[in-house]
Chain A
Amino acid sequence: MTAIANSTAHSIVEASPRAKAVAGTIVILYAVISILPLLWIAATAFKSQSDAIAYPPKVIFQPTLEGYVNLFTVRTRQTPDFIAKLPPATTWYDKLVRQHDMVIAGPSKVVPRFINSLIIGFGSTFLAVFLGTLAGYAFSRFRIPLADDLLFFILSTRMMPPVAVAIPIYLMYRQLNLTDTKLGMILLYTAVNVSLAVWLLKGFIDEIPREYEEAALVDGYTRLQALRKVVLPQAVTGIAATAIFCLIFSWNEYAFAVLLTSGEAQTMPPFIPFIIGEGGQDWPAVAAATTLFVVPIVMFTILLRKHLLRGITFGAVRK
């Protein structure tokens, strides 16, 4: 890494301009092709029902907000006579819906599901990062008997197949009345995330020189004060990166959510595939939900790009 940074412009290792151009072309081509599915979904969200299922698939179309309106509302089909008798539509979305002989009957479940995703995501992230910071600090700074075995145990819990884990959790939660509750999901996601948090935060804290704390201890701070006033401020970036990783996991998680929730605590991933209209999946609405769901992830990925490698290797590879 440093060797590369120090290498001069005329280094033999530097690729020739032609080699660079070829590499650039292939990589950009791959990137564009791999991003196409996402762009297609983002575009489908702005299609009308008939454009979304047109053959051949439409690349150019008249954009409409129907998909988003359908996502947020429940509608009923009415006769044109009935609609004509109604007082004139007051909002743009009422007008949009009435064009299709429909009337808005109420809000859909998407907002509660979205809020569930937020509560469960942030709740489990906060707990996991809190526990992970404490444990990561302890593993980094103290001599803990069997530390390697404990760390392996912590990591191995994350590797277990979720469907297999869900079987006993389902039985346990039934006994404890935690099935389909936000608390149950927060606890479960915290347990899954804490392993990642411990490993990542141990790595981040390992990188903070011990000398700072030692100086603070000599100055009369207690360990706890030294942790709060010296270590934590230096670990802020690491803690933030860890938090985003935990948040993304909880946000994206599907297996536990679909097996352990049905309504009250259901998050977005199990909800999105079941947004249905008249006769099957309402693709523009599904695409709209997917877009809203994915946009935060895209932003977080851009924020995280320097720490991605660490996050996906449990802190082992740091660049």
Chain B
Amino acid sequence: MDKMTTIPHTDQARIAGMGEPGKVRSRTRAAKRARGLSDRTMAWLFVAPTIALLLAINIFPLVWMIRLSFTSLNLSMSYLPLRFVGLDNFSDILSDEDIWVRLQTTAQFVIASVALQVVVGFGLALLINRRFRGHSFWTTIILLPMMLSPAVVGNFWTLLFQPQIGPFNYLVSLFTGVPPSSFSMTGEVALAPWTIVLVDTWMWAPYVMLICLAGLRSIPDYIYEAAEVDRASSWRQFWSITLPMTVPFLMLAVLFRAIENFKMFDMVNLLTSGGPGSTTELVSITLKRAAFEKWRTGYSSALAIILFVTVFGAANIYVKALNRVKQR
């Protein structure tokens, strides 16, 4: 293809299709033609290594996995010849009641933890937005948990939750009088699901807070001033100004947290490792056991693909939400 003739066209197309002022270019064509690689070659040279890496490490293995999902491969019996079983793995999974229970457990975890994070995070953002003295220092302190390694967090919370020696039960008993050794946060069917929600919220409410804070700060003052002139009550101002204008940001936070928690593995694996029984066995933990303990590679490939499709759909919505926020 002749680069010299195509480049001016693309330039015109860009100017004709502008809309984002930042994209308009006034670059002189003379300068571009003068020396060096053409822009088109350079663009490809710059993007190609990234795409190549992602194809090698993400897409190629994914395609391989799709193939495996139609087989009965089991790595602990890999001497058996590879046998294609069609859609058997998928129908096994979708008709397996246990898998549905794991998905339910995962959904409950996602809903409860994200809801709690929204309440705590949005509340904190509203308070921090009042700009009391020292608010930025305390904001940084609050943000620390979300920067930590989820695995390390899961691990050290097991110490804090130890019924006898852990400080958590002791603190609870100080305030409620319940003897500290009478309950175990990670060992009881009734408590364990709430324990993972609690630790997840401790870690990620700051994330929601930070994004909400950006939303609150994007609201121009004059809107509140106009509302004040109209004598709108502060309650009314919250419902008709603050909340609607923060919602796009909140949506972003909710979507991202939902995706992350849907694939949650590390923190829960170390905190409860799915127990007691299987009360906190999220679908990622099931997948890990099928793939890396039972070595049912064909079966777990199919399960992984089902999860992929779910996350991919959610990610699609997430990127749309990102773009909507960007336009503001």
Most buried by B among A156, A161, A252, A301: A161
The reply on A191 being an interface residue by CB < 8 A is yes
Name the residue on A nearest B49 (C-beta). Answer: A131
From B14, B34, B138, B322, A220 is in contact (CB under 8 Å) with B34
From B43, B211, B263, B291, A144 is in contact (CB under 8 Å) with B43
The reply on A20 being an interface residue by CB < 8 A is yes
Contact assessment for B134 and A24 in the assembled complex, using a CB-CB cutoff below 8 Å: yes
The reply on B151 being an interface residue by CB < 8 A is yes
Name the residue on B nearest A135 (C-beta). Answer: B50
Once the chains are docked, how many angstroms separate the CA of A248 from the CA of B214? Answer: 23
Q: From known contacts A161-B287, A309-B214, infer whether A317 and B61 are also in contact, taking CB-CB under 8 Å.
A: no
- Stretch in contact with the other chain, from A65-73, A81-89, A103-111, A162-170: A162-170
Contact assessment for B263 and A162 in the assembled complex, using a CB-CB cutoff below 8 Å: yes
The reply on B259 being an interface residue by CB < 8 A is yes
Contact assessment for A194 and B151 in the assembled complex, using a CB-CB cutoff below 8 Å: no
Contact assessment for A171 and B165 in the assembled complex, using a CB-CB cutoff below 8 Å: no
Contact assessment for B133 and A54 in the assembled complex, using a CB-CB cutoff below 8 Å: no
Name the residue on A nearest B303 (C-beta). Answer: A164
Once the chains are docked, how many angstroms separate the CA of A155 from the CA of B311? Answer: 12
How many residues does chain B have at the interface if contact means C-beta atoms less than 8 Å apart? 118
The reply on B276 being an interface residue by CB < 8 A is no
Contact assessment for A37 and B315 in the assembled complex, using a CB-CB cutoff below 8 Å: no
Q: From known contacts A44-B159, A142-B43, infer whether A154 and B54 are also in contact, taking CB-CB under 8 Å.
A: yes
List, in ascending order, chain A residues with CB within 8 A of B146's CB: 312
Most buried by B among A135, A159, A162, A301: A159
List, in ascending order, chain B residues with CB within 8 A of A206's CB: 22
List, in ascending order, chain B residues with CB within 8 A of A305's CB: 136, 139-140, 143
Contact assessment for B58 and A214 in the assembled complex, using a CB-CB cutoff below 8 Å: no
CB distance from B63 to the nearest CB of A (A): 9
The reply on B131 being an interface residue by CB < 8 A is yes
Most buried by A among B42, B145, B262: B42
Name the residue on A nearest B75 (C-beta). Answer: A171
The reply on B304 being an interface residue by CB < 8 A is yes
How many residues does chain A have at the interface if contact means C-beta atoms less than 8 Å apart? 114
Q: From known contacts A27-B127, A217-B32, A222-B35, infer whether A12 and B142 are also in contact, taking CB-CB under 8 Å.
A: no
Interface pairs (26), CB distance under 8 Å: A13-B225, A28-B134, A31-B142, A37-B202, A134-B49, A135-B46, A135-B47, A142-B43, A150-B51, A152-B316, A160-B58, A161-B304, A164-B307, A187-B57, A195-B54, A211-B26, A217-B34, A222-B35, A225-B36, A252-B151, A270-B151, A286-B159, A309-B210, A313-B256, A317-B214, A319-B217
Name A's B-contacting residues (CB within 8 A).
Answer: 1, 3-4, 7, 11-15, 19-21, 23-24, 26-28, 30-31, 34-35, 37-38, 40-41, 44, 52-57, 131-132, 134-135, 137-139, 142-144, 150, 152-157, 159-172, 187-188, 190-191, 194-195, 198, 206, 210-211, 214, 217-218, 220, 222-225, 248, 251-255, 258-259, 269-270, 272-273, 281, 283, 286-287, 290, 293-294, 297-298, 300-302, 305, 308-309, 312-314, 316-317, 319
> Which 5 A-B pairs have CB atoms at the shortest separation, nearest pair first?
A222-B36, A168-B61, A254-B151, A24-B132, A252-B149
Name B's A-contacting residues (CB within 8 A).
Answer: 10, 13-14, 22, 25-28, 31-32, 34-37, 39-40, 42-43, 45-47, 49-51, 53-54, 56-58, 60-62, 64-65, 68, 124, 127-128, 130-136, 138-152, 155-157, 159-160, 164-167, 170, 180, 202, 206-207, 210-211, 214, 217-218, 220-222, 224-225, 228, 249, 252, 256, 259, 262-263, 265-266, 270, 284, 287-288, 291-292, 297, 300-301, 303-305, 307-308, 311-312, 314-316, 318-319, 322-323, 325-326
